Amino acid sequence: MLNIVVSIFDVESEAYQAITELRNQKGLKTSIMPEAVLVNKETGSYKVLDFYDLEDVSGRDTVTGGLIGMCIGILGGPIGILLGGSIGALIGMNADENQVSEGMSVLEQMIGKLGDNTIAIIGLADEEDESEIDNLLSKYKTIIARFDAAVVEHEVEKAKEMQEEMENLAKLEMRKQKKEEHQAKVEERRNKMKARVEAVKEKHKKS
């Protein structure tokens, strides 16, 4: 099964060692993780610390164009910030995080796992036996979560469409404001010019 595997580490140096092991694929017989990114999440933004793409599986650069890269772009963008804020509000109202996660989208679940100041490896894996990657990472202090890669890709595409729509609406609003500001300035200039002309007319009447 194709999964997006998220491994969250307590120790940054261990995360570097783990991505090196995953890059070498030693100990994996029926599973493979052909691409992965090591990220540090700080206050909503994602900093890429390391990455690899063994076979160019996505046909695009892992960080900027592949599924993992697009996923990170959405998680760290406006949609991710909105989703993260809504999750925080829900958890604040409901102490049971498991109950909150029910019915959430996969992206929301991922954001819920990736809290601030988090070091994580996010990889695309083809797994016949999930225990192989778990065993490879078992020597490290890490929490592992899996998400259906096809579902993630679908949600990322939808989120991209929403983000583009938001950006277009923002541009239209900015243009509208600019036009209104322009019209207001033109009207102000017109009134000033009219006032000067009226003053000249009054002066000539008195003379």
Helix axes 78-93, 67-75, angle to 10 degrees: 60
Q: How many domains does the chain fold into?
A: 1
Per-10-residue mean pLDDT, the chain, length 207: 93 95 86 92 85 67 67 82 56 48 75 86 92 92 92 87 72 77 84 85 73
Element (H, E) at 9: strand 2-9
Q: Could you tell me if residue 157 is inside a domain? A: yes
Instruction: Examine residue 22 and state whether it is found in any structural domain, yes or no.
Output: yes
Radius of gyration of the chain (CA): 27
Instruction: Report yes or no on 198 lying in a domain.
Output: no
Average pLDDT over the chain, rounded to an integer: 80
Global pTM reads 0.68
The predicted pLDDT at position 55 comes to 67
For residues 174-186, b (16+ Cβ closer than 10 Å) or e, as one string?
eeeeeeeeeeeee
Residue 16: count other Cβ atoms within 10 Å of its Cβ.
15
Over residues 54-107, the pLDDT tens digits come to: 865 544 444 445 788 888 888 887 777 777 654 444 444 454 555 545 567 888
In a domain, 185, yes or no: no
Q: Which two tokens stand for residue 185?
A: 């300035």
Residue-number span of the structural domain to which 94 is assigned: 2-163
Q: Is residue 170 part of a domain?
A: no
Per-residue pLDDT, 54: 80
